[in-house]
Amino acid sequence: MKVGVVAANGRAGRRIVKRCVEEGFDVTAIVRHENQTAAQNVLLKDLFDLTTDDVKDFDVIVDAFGVWDADAVGLHVSSMQHLISILQKTDIRLIAVGGAGSLIADPEMNMQLVDTKDFPEEARPVAKAMSVAFDNLRISKDLRWTYVSPAVNFKPTDESQGHYVIVTGDNLSFDKNGKSEISYADYARALVDEIKNDKHENQRISVRW
């Protein structure tokens, strides 16, 4: 399995690369600057400069791109659109590191988590942008994709409980204690298992403990 990880130097990207390598995949870090991951190969190129020819030999592209600055969050939309454009009409799977903000928190009102009153105001711009990016992915044609949303509390740690729960669809889910949590390490485990097992093509899934 040949896997390219876009924005591999990020917090999610590094852990996804590490897990892919542990699974024995042939992994390429696609980064703008020096590789800081465990990947065996490196492609030094900006995401927006990638072409279909650059990625033609991969089985899977993982999109781990992310920005938080309010004036840059629109890049979530344009970066997703660029990846869609270069991967359409190929057999390459796009696995996107998604957000939790677009999950439905109130099914009766069809309200996304980002629109609830308790959602952190400082996180709202990026969550809104990621929601638009996901909408564009969902309506794309001639593309094999899976969108992987984390739990509400996405813990930037290597803490591992050694298990996870996959929920298919758009509804937010909670454990028996009413919590929605996952660490970066166990999220990476779930995402890489999806690469390996290919069970949710053209679907959104979410991951929690």
pLDDT digits (tens, 9 = 90+) for 21-30: 999 999 999 9
- Per-residue confidence (pLDDT) for residue 34, from 0 to 100: 96
- Per-residue confidence (pLDDT) for residue 207, from 0 to 100: 98
- Per-residue confidence (pLDDT) for residue 168, from 0 to 100: 98
Which band of pLDDT confidence, cut at 50, 70 and 90, is reported for residue 205?
A: very high
- Per-residue confidence (pLDDT) for residue 52, from 0 to 100: 98
- Per-residue confidence (pLDDT) for residue 142, from 0 to 100: 98
- Per-residue confidence (pLDDT) for residue 165, from 0 to 100: 98
Which band of pLDDT confidence, cut at 50, 70 and 90, is reported for residue 79?
A: very high
- Per-residue confidence (pLDDT) for residue 117, from 0 to 100: 96
Average pLDDT estimate for 74-102: 98
User: In sequence order, what DSSP letters do the residues of 50-109 get, joined into one string?
Assistant: --HHHHTT-SEEEE------TTTTTHHHHHHHHHHHHHTTSS-EEEEE--STTSEEETTT
Q: Could you tell me the two tokens for 62?
A: 């993982």
Q: Which residues are bridge partners to 63 per DSSP?
A: 6, 96
> How far apart, in whole angstroms, are the C-alpha atoms of residue 43 and residue 32?
8
Backbone torsions φ then ψ of 36, nearest 5 degrees: -120, 20
b/e per residue, 53-90, with b = 16+ CB within 10 A?
eebeebebbbbbbbbeeeeebbbbbebbebbbebbeeb
